[in-house]
Chain A
Amino acid sequence: MAYVIGVDVGGTFTDAFAADDKGNVHSAKVASTPPDFSRGVLGSIDALADNIGLDVGDLLRDTAYICHGTTSTLNALVTGDVAQVGFLTTKGHRDSIYIMNLEGRYAGLGQEEIQNITATRKPAPLIPKRRVKEIIERIDYKGSIIVALDENAATEAIRELIAEGVESIAVSLLWSFRNPVHEQRLRELVHQIDPSIYVALSSEITPRIREYARSVTTVMSAQIGPPLRSYLEPLATDLHDRGLRGKLLVMQGSGGTVAADEAPKHGITTIGSVLTGGVIGARRLGQQLGHKNIISTDVGGTTFLVGLVVDGDPVFSSTTILNQYELNVPMMKVATIGSGGGAIAWLDPGGNLRVGPRSAGARPGPACYGQGGSEPTVSDANLVLGILNPDYFLGGTKKLEVELARQAIKSKIADPLGLSIEDAAAAIFEIQNAQTADLVRTVVVGAGHDPRDFVMYAFGGAGPVHCAAYGADLGVKEVLVPLGQTAAVFSAYGLATSDVVLSVELSDPANFPVDAETMERNFTQLEEEVSKRLKAQDVEFQSISLVREADIRYTMQIFEVPTPVPPGRIDDSAVQVIADNFEERYASLYGAGTGFREAGLQIITYRVFGTGTLPFKPELPKHESQGGSGSPAPKQTRRAMLDGRSGWMDVPVFDYRVLATGTELSGPSIVEAQTTTVVIPPGTSAIVDDLGNLIIRYR
């Protein structure tokens, strides 16, 4: 028997998922253990072993690998609990990371925050200005040395930093991606003084043009490299001591993993670690179900994440925003668009009803949690509307207080507006649905797609309550609620199904037609490098694939479009194919005829993704119902309002556990599962598929 395990660490819960090579799957959920999340990780594996009925040592001895989604790097950066870093950069350009191309004042903020312009601020500086040392050296756009590196002055600067007690040193010089000799020499100088200092070179971390994001990426890498190492090393040691023979792998924002012992070198790639499990899970499930275009919506109590799968692959972005800083981290595009079930309903100064973006979070949480929250949330409205069952929230493990929900809505919304509590709750529900549709549409259209070409997957505790409504507004083909064995731990399932993915890149900007030999040389160099790094993972792969990509733009424009590059030797005709690919991709993103071809094309960055396919993929088992076949009986009928137009109705409520494959329910209905509640509004029907998922279709 061989297992693969996925462990997903969230703010509240740590989920574990295991699959064996016989088609069995198991899951476990334990409380997360901040600030040392590794205890929760070990605890979740203990619980998993319990569920399987194995001793944890036996489970680990039979485990091929563990894929771990970790928040540790993200948390470190958000809380500022990072290594003390010194920064070396080209003389005259220290302030790039403070100027932030000025967009740091608003990057990553929501529309309303941006409109309130006099309240916008830049984030706290990454490091104090005096801990940045300007180095006398200059290289130009061709990579030619204009001013030689002044080694004496540099040594002096490094000594000062070390005397101040820095733990690591980031080095980012202008045009270093073109000519890294000065950066490399600076590392030698640092190590001559103190070989124990962690050094991050921008020419290795992210050899990409645009010094602001490159410098930020390098500085943040240096900040989190040491703490990531001190989180992963003891965890891996613990796991191996307990019997693990396979590798511990860490999820990256790219949706692929990297070996835990290699991760700290490029630690910055792990910042999206916990965001992407859901999208990877959606993609894998989509492969099994034949869905190629998926909008993945993951709605928890405090976050609402949207990701896209197009033509079977997740949509990527080559940069990401963290704390308003721009980072060169190729990542799956996962947009955070709102605040989930904890979104607070409030009245603005004009007396208008608003929902979100502020959230009651996990503490105090919605008023109905009875944890001291007094502000009405979307969850409170859902409870008042009869959608949530006060006695069967999280499978009955958490009792909800209807009266507290009613009070909060009454005092904060209903009374001031002169509405009944029920009407106020209905308004909150519908506003949440409509706004979600607005925001999801912006994400989908912003990526150059039409929501009508997609199937939507809705998971997370709060998603299935609303998904039929916002799915209808978006015009998606159908909505799928994953409810089989994976329901509770969908992201952890995603982790267990992933592969090792590494990317390497290099900027070598040039105008088209680009010299074919230069292109060939760049890609060959990148392929050799990524192959070397895949080998260093020390993991047995079933197969390895290398995929090339180039960032290309029209000369007049500032944003590049990642463009697929075919494999094989690059000659002049291949260069033309790449140019055509770009124009095709551009037209599909921005509409036919919008390209400004007269401006000419420029290639900016070369990139190669290396994917090492892991030996086996969990197949989800067939759904087994606890009820018999035939049409199921509702466990109860209750008064509920499932949409504003239909008003209050007697709605049959079904226990998910008794629904057999092939069961068809027509709206209005409610399905209660242990982890979530699914609303099937009037005008829709839902069918249980082979795997136990609920598929909602519009009539």
Chain B
Amino acid sequence: MPFIPVPGSEVFSSRIRSREQIQNSVGDSVSLHHAKPDDVEQLDALSYEVIRHRLWAITDLMGQALKRMSGSLVVTDCNDFDVAIADEFGDIVQVGPYNTELAASVDLAIKWILENRADNPGIYEGDMFLCNDPWVGGGLHQNDVAVLAPFFHDGKLFAWTAAVAHQADLGGVSPGSWTPRAEDVFWESLPTPPVKIVENSRIRRDVEDVYLRRSRVPKMVALDLRAKVGANTVGQERIRELIGKYGADVVKAAMAKQLDDAESRLRAKLEKIEDGTWSATCYQEQSMKDDRNVHKIVCTLTKAGSDLLFDFTGTGPQSGMINTTFSGMYGGILAGVLPGLCGDIPWATGGLRRCISIKSEEGTLNNATFPAAVGKGSVASAWATMNAVTECISKMVDTSIELKREVQSVCCGTWQLCVMAGLDQRQQPFATMLTDSMGGGFGAGVDHDGVDTGGLLLIPMGKMPDVEMNEFVLPMLYLWRREETDSGGPGRFRGGVTASLCFVPHDTPVPMMQVISGAGKTVSQNVGLAGGYPGSSQVDIAVRSSNIEELFSKGIIPSSLEEVDGDLQILACEDEALLSPGDLHYMSWQSGGGYGDPLLRDPKSVAYDVAELRVSPESARNIYGVVLQEPGFEVDADATEQLRSEMRQIRRSRAQKAGV
């Protein structure tokens, strides 16, 4: 289908704008409170550290407040939300440690508000703006709804606080607001550019109704709206106290210094690395249901001095429903930069951003033009952007002897979505997403294996539910949920293994409807580094009309699909299916990539992995070239050395055959 741009939509496309540009647009409409260079210069070590720590503590309290008030599982359980404090221009001084991708683009939304809302309807004390327009920013897809609150001191706009959270449903043709069938954004939730949801410290009922009317679960969304308003209120009360104690100029100077400090520390780190260019390509297969193509995001990272240029030239054109906007790409970059380079640097993205420039063509997968479908963007092209960025950064850091301990290969490369709807064991309708796939494997580093079932890199504090809790709430019975032997990307250091699960519908009279949405089923997204192999790919398999009841009655619990009779059906990346009583559903998400040549792995570590069932004896031999003696998995050193030498010889001859 030809893509037809919408004239007039370009105003909503946020880009990174300089402070001068914003100051010019704001003009006299709003008076901004600026840091005085002298104050920043003269700020003493004591005040800076106390205020820095307090700002961090405030984001912590804001996060707690949001989590405690929310009624939504993805917020309370999966930490799919975040909070931030920004200066008067929207430059972020501190983001919370929840879903870092979300908060990363809050600055774009604030800058957009300053440029487009200052004169009409104006920005006043007691206001808060709501935004779920991924082109404007503040989130990655329409389900991410931000509430952005200006903070005034003595009549001047001093700072901003923000809270963003994923909402379960905000309309569109399918429950959950994204569908594998979407051809453009009009199939999905309606994007809402910044609107004044709170005026004079009161939620505007008319605006709230416009927002809630689109949702299939308006009461839950209303509760979360209050949670976000509440989080901002908590943050602002604390900032007011802080100013009361130290004075506005000192607090502002500390905010400015935090930005400078983050920037200069990142620059200092980058200066330690040789200049160079690194590139990575991340593939996604299927851009919508029945699509048979592969779509690529290409990232070329050039480091010169202490500047980073992320160039996405070569990235495929926008396609189907896996696109993301500029702010999704930007969020993906920061979600790679924060864990990859800034584990020990304050997460003041407003300062870190000064080291980063971006080159990208509009109309591509991760810089999609309105009205492209972008509902899945957060876990599709934004995440793929993060993978490519992580790979480039890791390759870059790996060249520095001093810093390479911070390297980490790509982790679990995307989300594996399994939404199910039907009648539960209490005959009540249900619709939910399985969150077990939160437990992916971490990538390996230069001196350690990746964390087994460690989670997702962009959500520092993820969580999986217990099997019993899912079986209590949902009509399902797990045959297993286990770590998968051999799933971790092989390498001198092994990628963290991932897990799989297999369940049957239990105690439900009717089939369940399933929406399956993922990627990385035929291509590896969790690549290895420095000769390390990629980790496992995503798998969804159904076994239709199985003999599971018969097996149970014979006292058999299968531990593999081979032990079950029935029709095996491999599910595509984008699929919709019915799971009937007697069917099995198996899914396995991605592990982490390996680091270094597996033939260099310490044979004792391989033996330990075999003893701990993380590597099979076959893979120990075939991939790692390690020969073990039964029983007890002792390394046969001579045989191992001989095997490894043979494997190297095979590699050499293969290289010659290929004419290399």
Contact = CB atoms under 8 A, between A and B. Distances in A.
B545 interface: no
B71 A556 contact: yes
A219 to B, nearest CB: 16
Contacts of B499: 95, 99
Contacts of A91: 480, 557, 559
Contacts of A117: 339, 343, 457, 460
B97 A114 contact: yes
Interface in A128-179: 128-130, 136, 138, 140-142, 146-148, 150, 174-175
Interface string A194-236: 0000000000000001111100000000000000000000000
Nearest to A175: B468
Given A211-B467, A557-B71, A99 B339 contact: no
Interface in A100-150: 100-103, 105-106, 111, 114-122, 125, 128-130, 136, 138, 140-142, 146-148, 150
Interface in A478-518: 509, 511
B28 interface: no
Interface stretch (B51-59, B109-117, B138-146, B274-282): B51-59
A128 B612 CA distance: 7
Nearest to B168: A556
Given A349-B268, A442-B57, A590 B468 contact: no
B611 A128 contact: yes
A598 interface: yes
A93 interface: yes
B69 interface: yes
Interface stretch (B41-49, B148-156, B181-189, B525-533): B41-49
Contact of A92 (B44, B226, B471, B478): B478
A121 B408 CA distance: 13
Interface string A455-491: 0000000000000000000000000000000000000
B227 A210 contact: no
Interface stretch (A424-432, A522-530, A622-630): A424-432
A95 B559 contact: no
B214 interface: no
A559 B479 CA distance: 26
Interface string B22-64: 0000000000000000000000111011101110110011001
Interface string A429-451: 01100110011011001101000
Contacts of B230: 591, 594
Given A121-B451, A556-B73, A509 B466 contact: no
A443 B77 CA distance: 20
Interface in A328-370: 348-350, 352-355
B472 A209 contact: yes
B76 A122 contact: no
Contacts of A115: 97, 343, 347, 460
B307 interface: no
Contacts of A555: 473
A102 B452 CA distance: 9
A644 interface: yes
A591 B67 CA distance: 12
B500 to A, nearest CB: 10
Given A99-B481, A558-B465, A596-B219, A120 B451 contact: yes
A46 B555 CA distance: 62
A111 B269 CA distance: 22
A13 to B, nearest CB: 32
A442 B454 contact: no
B408 A417 contact: no
B175 interface: no
A419 interface: yes
B305 to A, nearest CB: 18
Contacts of B557: 91-92, 136, 138, 147
B463 A101 contact: yes
Given A92-B557, A349-B268, A211 B56 contact: no
Contacts of B506: 140
B451 A150 contact: no
B227 A594 contact: yes
A596 B499 CA distance: 33
A77 interface: no
Interface string B68-81: 11011100110000
Nearest to B613: A129
B506 to A, nearest CB: 7
Given A115-B97, A138-B552, A556-B220, A599 B71 contact: yes
A111 B343 CA distance: 11
B510 interface: no
A348 B613 CA distance: 41
Contact of A430 (B50, B73, B611): B50
Contacts of B219: 596, 598
A98 interface: yes
A19 to B, nearest CB: 41
B469 A210 contact: yes
A247 interface: no
B434 interface: no
Contacts of B454: 102, 105, 120, 122
B49 A93 contact: no
Contacts of B445: 118
Given A147-B555, A589-B68, A417 B61 contact: no
Contacts of A99: 439, 453, 464, 481-483, 499
Interface string B460-494: 11111111110111000111111100000000000
Given A99-B453, A352-B45, A593-B226, A92 B97 contact: no
Contacts of B268: 349-350
Given A111-B97, A129-B612, A122 B73 contact: no
Nearest to A448: B68
A559 B469 CA distance: 11
B468 A211 contact: yes
A91 B556 CA distance: 10
A114 B73 contact: no
A306 B301 CA distance: 47
Given A92-B481, A93-B482, A115-B460, A209 B469 contact: yes
A24 interface: no
Contacts of A441: 57, 61
A106 B460 contact: yes
A68 interface: no
A431 B507 CA distance: 58
A92 B483 CA distance: 10
A350 B264 contact: yes
A96 B53 contact: no
B337 interface: no
A406 interface: no
Given A116-B344, A136-B555, A95 B45 contact: no
A94 interface: yes
Given A129-B612, A353-B46, A434-B54, A114 B466 contact: no
B271 to A, nearest CB: 12
Nearest to A105: B454
Q: Enumerate the 4 nearest inter-chain pairs by beta-carbon distance, A residue then B residue, closest first.
A: A92-B480, A596-B71, A116-B343, A427-B46
20 contacts: A99-B482, A102-B453, A105-B451, A114-B461, A116-B344, A117-B460, A129-B611, A136-B555, A140-B506, A141-B468, A146-B477, A174-B467, A419-B45, A431-B46, A434-B50, A434-B54, A446-B64, A556-B220, A557-B73, A558-B465
Given A136-B555, A349-B265, 19 more contacts: A91-B557, A101-B463, A101-B466, A103-B462, A111-B56, A118-B408, A120-B460, A129-B613, A136-B556, A350-B345, A352-B52, A354-B49, A417-B45, A430-B50, A442-B60, A556-B71, A558-B77, A558-B465, A599-B71
Interface of A: 91-96, 98-103, 105-106, 111, 114-122, 125, 128-130, 136, 138, 140-142, 146-148, 150, 174-175, 209-213, 348-350, 352-355, 417, 419, 426-427, 430-431, 434-435, 438-439, 441-442, 445-446, 448, 509, 511, 554-559, 589-591, 593-596, 598-599, 644
